[in-house]
Amino acid sequence: MPLLLFITLFTLILLGFPIAFTLGGVALFFGILTVGVDFLNLLPLRIWGIMTNTVLIAVPLFIYMGVMLEKSGLAVELLETMALLFGRLRGGLAISIIAVGSLLAASTGIVGATVVTMGLLSLPTMLKRGYSPEVATGTIAASGTLGQIIPPSIVLILLGSILNVPVGDMFLAAVIPGCLLVTLYIGWIVVLAVVKPSAAPAMPETELEQFRGMAAVKRVTHAFVPPLLLMIAVLGSIFAGIASPTEAAAVGAMGASVLTVIRGKMSYRTLTGVMSETTHLTCMVFLILIGATALGLVFRGMGGDVYLADIILKLDLGPRRFLLIVMLIVFIVGFFIDFIEIIFIIVPVVSPILISMGVDPLWLGILLAMNLQTSFLTPPFGFALFYLKGVAPKTIETRHIYRGIIPFIIIQLIALLMVLFIPEMVTWLPETFQK
């Protein structure tokens, strides 16, 4: 019966039915079928537990912060300034896009918005400067997904909630893996610019003439200081123990609003647009969470967790082997459904078993976040690739995007293996701050 539950669920999802209602509907049907009408008495308690979870209040606040910063034009100014700053280097424009991607990730945490924004602004510029379509599209898609792993990330908040790990610890644990990815990305661009200069040329000197002296200093200060101050206020308050993630998210939301006002971009239309998009995204997240919680209740009511544990024991899988199987499943499933559904469908089922085997939930959470980020990039169904294709010029074909992303997928897998075999990369920073 547990197997039939998941077959029904994934069949309906692949047929295109809305995720949130599919989760709730399948849970309701199988719950009444197996547990009986009493299932309806158990469900409200689970939903109440979600709605009173103060940690999850950070989700709409961080979404609001990200959407507001996008509307403020901060991303545009960052990209233009960073491109001029690194323009004299071969591959400088690509390096600037990676740097901006990491800054936007730390400022917003919203992958779709980052990929679309950078695709609209940077892709035509990179093609105009002589970058190959593969390098241009691969760099933008990979940089845009850094919001999955660099805090404050919605993925890390939701994983922390499911794994019962403090969100502050999740943020701290993700710092080194996030910086590792950014470093490896930039390293690849530097190597490519040396080996194949025509694929990643420098910007023409005529375009850089005005970016000198005090004019350059003023522009860099104006573009960099506001987002850096916001990052310090949000992440610094969490890491220093001054504020909880929820309180820091409120600071970030207010800070983003103030920055928009200072830049003269705040208007009634902007505010209503941001609030509308925030409400839409928040409702989607929480509806999926409620449906997934109902599904988890049914799964346990069927004895599915015991059934799965028995299979693992019979197969005599150690924690490392079972973890690798889980990671492979998450990677493949990530081609077809979004990270939110994966976090709420698969993670609650497998995480208790892995934790009972002695796997550190903090390390598990970061591995899952990096894995989800990798599946976001992997052809043929990577969501980031769809976002980019939707805003790319007509000259960019799907094959360009697929070929361009391959080196970054290899980098992702290398980083994932490093974190898998060196758990200290995840645990060292949280342990240091706890001393």
Which residue reads 């009511």 in tokens?
Answer: 301
What per-residue confidence (pLDDT) applies to 204?
65
Which residue reads 């999740």 in tokens?
Answer: 170
The overall longest dimension of the chain from CA atoms, in Å, is 74
- Do 189 and 200 contact (CB within 8 A), yes or no? yes
- Strands (DSSP E) contained in 154-274 are none
Q: How far is it, in rounded angstroms, from Cα 26 to Cα 6?
A: 9
Which residue reads 């969501």 in tokens?
Answer: 383
Residues of 335-345 as b/e, b for ≥16 C-beta within 10 angstroms? eebbbbbbbbb
Is the whole model's pTM more than 0.85, yes or no?
no
Residue-wise pLDDT for 182-206, tens only, equals 999 999 988 888 888 877 776 666 6
Looking at residue 392, the DSSP 8-state letter turns out to be S
Q: How far is it, in rounded angstroms, from Cα 230 to Cα 131?
A: 33
- Do 370 and 149 contact (CB within 8 A), yes or no? yes
Residue-wise pLDDT for 26-81, tens only, equals 877 887 777 777 767 777 777 777 677 776 777 788 778 877 877 777 766 777 67
Q: Domain locations in the chain?
A: 2-434
Residue-level length of the chain: 435
Task: Return the H-helix or E-strand segment holding 63.
Answer: helix 58-71
- Strands (DSSP E) contained in 39-116 are none
pLDDT value at 266 more than 70: yes
Range of lowest pLDDT (87-96, 209-218, 222-231): 209-218
Q: In the structure encoding, which two tokens stand for residue 175, read together?
A: 């710092």
* Collapsed DSSP state (helix, strand, coil) of residue 309: helix
> Does residue 152 have a cis bond before it (omega within 30 degrees)?
yes
- Do 128 and 121 contact (CB within 8 A), yes or no? no
Q: Would you tell me how many other CB atoms lie within 10 Å of the CB of residue 195?
A: 9
* Rg (alpha carbons) of the chain, rounded to whole number: 22
